[in-house]
Chains A and B, each alone.
Chain A
Amino acid sequence: MIKITGIELENPTILAAGIMGTTGASLARVAKEGAGAVVTKSIGPEPKEGHKNPSMIDLGYGFLNAMGLPNPSYPDFKNELAIAKKETDTPVIASIFGGTEEEFVDVAQGLLESNPDAFELNVSCPHALGYGASVGSNPDAVESITAAVKDAVDIPVWVKLTPNVTDIVTIGDAAQRGGADAVVAINTVKGMAIDIESGYPILGNRFGGLSGKAVKPVAIKCVYDLYTALDIPVIGVGGIYTWQDAIEMMMAGANAVQIGSAVHEGIEIFSSIATGIETFVAERGYKDITDIIGLAHERI
Chain B
Amino acid sequence: MYPINVKITKIIKETPSTRTFVFDKSFDEAVPGQFVMVWIHGVDEIPMGLASKNSITVQKVGDATEKLFKLSEGDTLGIRGPFGKGFTLPDKDEKILLIAGGVGTVPIVALANHAASEGVCITTILGARNSEELLFVDKFSSCGELHITTDDGSAHRCGFVTDVLGEADISAYDRIYTCGPEMMMKCIFSMLEKEDALEKTEFSLHRYFKCGIGVCGACCMDKKGLRVCKDGPVFNGLELVDSELGKYMRGPSGNKKDF
A residues with a Cβ closer than 8 A to B are 18-23, 25-30, 41, 47-50, 52-60, 63, 65, 67, 70-73, 76-77, 193, 195, 197-198, 200, 202, 204, 260-261, 263-264
Contacts and interface: CB of A to CB of B under 8 A. Distances in A.
A54 B45 contact: yes
A261 B215 contact: yes
Most buried by B among A55, A73, A200, A204: A55
Contacts of B224: 25, 29
Contacts of A260: 215
Interface in B208-251: 209-218, 220-225, 227, 250-251
Interface stretch (B1-9, B48-56, B195-203): B1-9
Interface stretch (B34-42, B87-95, B183-191): B34-42
Contacts of B252: 49-50, 70
Given A20-B227, A23-B217, A195-B5, A55 B250 contact: no
A73 B251 CA distance: 13
Given A71-B253, A200-B41, A56 B210 contact: yes
Contacts of B2: 57, 59, 193, 195, 202
A53 B37 contact: yes
Contacts of A28: 225
Contact of B41 (A19, A21, A71, A198): A198
Given A20-B216, A54-B37, A58-B1, 6 more contacts: A22-B217, A26-B217, A49-B252, A56-B213, A198-B5, A204-B44
19 contacts: A22-B218, A23-B222, A25-B220, A26-B217, A49-B251, A53-B44, A54-B39, A55-B211, A56-B210, A56-B212, A57-B80, A63-B215, A67-B210, A72-B254, A195-B2, A195-B5, A195-B78, A197-B5, A261-B215
A34 to B, nearest CB: 14
Interface of B is mostly: loop
Contact of B222 (A25, A50, A261, A264): A25
B142 interface: no
A73 B254 CA distance: 9
Contact of B44 (A30, A52, A56): A52
A48 B253 contact: yes
Contacts of B3: 54, 57, 195, 202
A263 B215 contact: yes
Task: Give the 10 A-B CB pairs with smallest separation, nearest first.
Answer: A29-B225, A26-B225, A53-B45, A20-B217, A197-B5, A56-B211, A49-B252, A25-B225, A26-B220, A72-B255
Contacts of A204: 44-45
B76 interface: yes
A160 B68 CA distance: 40
Contacts, number: 135
Contacts of A195: 2-3, 5, 41, 78
Contacts of A60: 1
A29 B41 CA distance: 35
B146 interface: no
A193 B251 CA distance: 27
Most buried by A among B39, B217, B252: B217
Contacts of B209: 53
B164 interface: no
A69 to B, nearest CB: 10
Nearest to A76: B255
Most buried by A among B41, B43, B216, B220: B216
A26 B213 CA distance: 15
Contacts of A47: 253, 255
A29 B216 CA distance: 14
A258 to B, nearest CB: 14
Contacts of A30: 225
Contacts of B215: 19-20, 56, 63, 65, 260-261, 263-264
